[in-house]
Amino acid sequence: MLILPILLYYVNEGSPISRYKFKHEVLSYIRERFSQSIVIEKINYSFKNGTYWVMAYPENNKELKFQISESWNGQGLWDDYLTSTWKYEVNEELGSFVRSVSVDSYKDTASIYLGNTIPVVKKYTTIPYGKVPSYQDVKQELKKGTTIYISINRNYKVDSTNDVYSDIYKIIQFIKMGGYTFEHIYLSLKEDKKDSSTWKTFTFNSLENVNRKEDILKFQDK
């Protein structure tokens, strides 16, 4: 009768001895790589890959979550602190602006997907974490494959369409003036109702020709 619970534990949690070993490896890894206090959360186990991983965050910023994990090929531990930090910086700054554009924008969201970050991460992994460059310092190196996603949610009214386009234009100008780098911006306009579908979508591959509110219409997907 005890065999099944034990088997389920090993499938979901891995070996207790391996978990203990992984935790101490993570703590040692943190001491070697980070110049700030890092908090780790519950240890997780991937039965598919046979690896352990944990979410962590700086003690002074619980919102900046990143992963520390075993490599599937047995090459030690790795983390995504750098990319998580850069995404966090953009999402906080851009997201805050998007939500502040108008009194109706409190449900709007913005996020960034960083494309091929491997060369950039390799370049800066020798710097003690806590002294890494900001997104603004490395944004030109992160352009390839990067996509910005923006979702605007509104109660649809025909006579409010111009106001919505004004909000979109303000957001695009903020991205333009802030020098955010990207290959694509995908913007979706949704009706703020339960189970509502996307109203309109816009795709920007460049902002060079967005100089007034009316230019937004040129980028609406057909």
Per residue in 63-85, pLDDT tens? Answer: 999 999 998 777 889 999 999 99
Mean pLDDT of the 102-114 span: 86
Mind listing the pLDDT tens digit for each residue in 167-213?
Answer: 999 999 999 999 999 999 999 988 766 666 667 899 999 999 999 99
pTM: 0.85
Is residue 145 classed as helix, strand or coil in its secondary structure? coil
Residue 159 has pLDDT above 50, yes or no: no
**To which residue do tokens 């206090």 refer?**
37
> So what's the pLDDT on residue 122?
87
Taking residue 190's Cβ as centre, other Cβ atoms within 10 Å add up to 18
Record the tokens describing residue 85, joined without a space: 């930090």
Q: What is the pLDDT of residue 6?
A: 57
Residue 50 confidence class, pLDDT cut points 50, 70, 90 = confident
pLDDT at 8 over 60: no
Phi, psi of 77 (to 5 degrees): -95, 155
